[in-house]
């Protein structure tokens, strides 16, 4: 008998009598909360930052925020950047990126998370081998909590989907979260409504 069949036979022999699977409520608040405010506060907890309006000159904004950055990898029409994900045939080469600019299709107010997948990244490693990341998010795309977030189709049809909730950090030394760790050093979300075509 194969290991698979042995294991399954042992499980079926041993598993306790069947218990019921509960329905999971949506746990939405009765009043309509200010999702932008909740999102901003939650992201701040994990040291992510929110810019509440699109900057009038995005190029200038990026230069000012990341004065030493040279390679801007953009996957959004709002900024041309000077590199594209397709430049990185070897996915490990994305470590040469200083700033990745990408749009998220979903924000989560409860946790300050943004959803990203291969549809947004094209090359997944641009999301964590880059030094910094800037994420555009339409405030209309913010949902209240994690229960709502998991209704998004990405979690059923994307090879890789990520709820990103702050820059990479570690609390492994002394229990207090510090940066850097292995991923991006800073994470900035800009509230930026989509254009109609997006």
Partner 1 sequence: MSVVDQAQNAVAFMEDKTHEQHLDQLLWMMRTRRDEAASRVPEWEQLRDLASQIKEHTLSNLGHYLEMFESRAEANGVTVHWAQDAHEHNQIVYHILSDRKADSLIKSKSMLTEECDTRQFLENRGIRVTETDLGERIQQLDDQPPSHIVGPSWHKTTQDVAHLFARAYGSDKDKADPVYLGHVMRENTRVLIEEGKAGMTGANFAVAETGAIVTVTNEGNADLSGNVPELRICSVGLEKVIPRNEDLAVFIRLLTRSATGNAITQYTSHFLAPRQNGEMHIILVDNGRSSRLGMEKFWPSLKCIRCAACMNTCPVYRRSGGLSYGSTYMGPIGIIMMPTFDVRRYSELPFSSTLNGSCTNVCPVKINVHEQIYAWREVMEQNGQIQLVKKEAMRAAGEVLSHPRLYRIAASSAEPDMKLLPHFVLYNHFNAWGRHRDVPQPGKETFHDWYKKNRISTAGQEIT
Residues 157-176 that bind partner 1 (CB under 8 A): 158-176
Q: Judged by CB under 8 A, which stretch of 1-9, 56-64, 65-73, 74-82 contacts partner 1?
A: 1-9
Q: Judged by CB under 8 A, which stretch of 13-21, 49-57, 61-69, 189-197 contacts partner 1?
A: 13-21
- Three-state DSSP at 190 gives strand
DSSP classification of residue 18: P
Contact flag: residue 22 with partner 1 (CB under 8 A): yes
* Total of residues contacting partner 1 (CB under 8 A): 73
Closest to 188 (Cα-Cα) out of 35, 62, 48? 48
In what helix (H) or strand (E) does residue 116 lie, and over which residues does it extend?
strand 113-117
In what helix (H) or strand (E) does residue 60 lie, and over which residues does it extend?
helix 58-65
Strand order in the sheet with 72-74: 49-51, 186-191, 132-137, 99-104, 72-74
Contact flag: residue 92 with partner 1 (CB under 8 A): yes
Alpha-carbon distance of 9 to 5, in angstroms, equals 6
Judged by beta carbon, residue 48 or residue 58, the one nearer partner 1 is 48
Answer for which of 105, 127, 135, 141 binds partner 1 (CB under 8 A) is 127
Contact flag: residue 57 with partner 1 (CB under 8 A): no
Contact flag: residue 30 with partner 1 (CB under 8 A): no
Judged by beta carbon, residue 139 or residue 160, the one nearer partner 1 is 160
| Footprint of partner 1 on 58-87 (CB under 8 A) | none
The phi, psi pair for 58, rounded to 5°, reads -65, -40
Contact flag: residue 46 with partner 1 (CB under 8 A): yes
Alpha-carbon distance of 87 to 72, in angstroms, equals 12
Contact flag: residue 14 with partner 1 (CB under 8 A): yes
Contact flag: residue 198 with partner 1 (CB under 8 A): no
CB of 43 to partner 1, least distance (A): 10
Between the alpha carbon of residue 70 and those of residues 55, 116, 120, 187, the distances in Å are 20, 24, 22, 17
């Amino acid at each position: 008998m194969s290991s698979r069949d042995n294991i399954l036979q042992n499980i079926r022999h041993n598993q306790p009598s069947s218990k019921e699977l509960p329905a999971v409520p949506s746990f939405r608040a009765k009043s309509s909360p200010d999702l932008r405010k909740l999102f901003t506060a939650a992201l701040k907890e994990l040291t992510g930052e929110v810019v509440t309006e699109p900057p009038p000159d995005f190029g200038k904004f990026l230069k000012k925020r990341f004065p030493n950055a040279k390679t801007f990898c953009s996957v959004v029409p709002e900024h041309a950047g000077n590199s594209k994900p397709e430049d990185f045939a070897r996915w490990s080469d994305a470590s040469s990126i200083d700033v990745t600019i990408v749009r998220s299709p979903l924000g989560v107010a409860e946790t300050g998370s943004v959803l990203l997948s291969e549809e947004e990244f094209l090359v997944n490693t641009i999301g964590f081998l880059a030094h910094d990341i800037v994420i555009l998010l339409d405030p209309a795309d913010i949902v209240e909590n994690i229960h709502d977030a998991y209704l998004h189709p990405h979690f059923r049809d994307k090879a890789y989907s990520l709820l990103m909730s702050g820059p990479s950090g570690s609390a492994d030394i002394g229990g207090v979260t510090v940066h850097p760790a292995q991923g991006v050093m800073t994470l900035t979300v800009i509230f930026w409504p989509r254009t109609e075509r997006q």
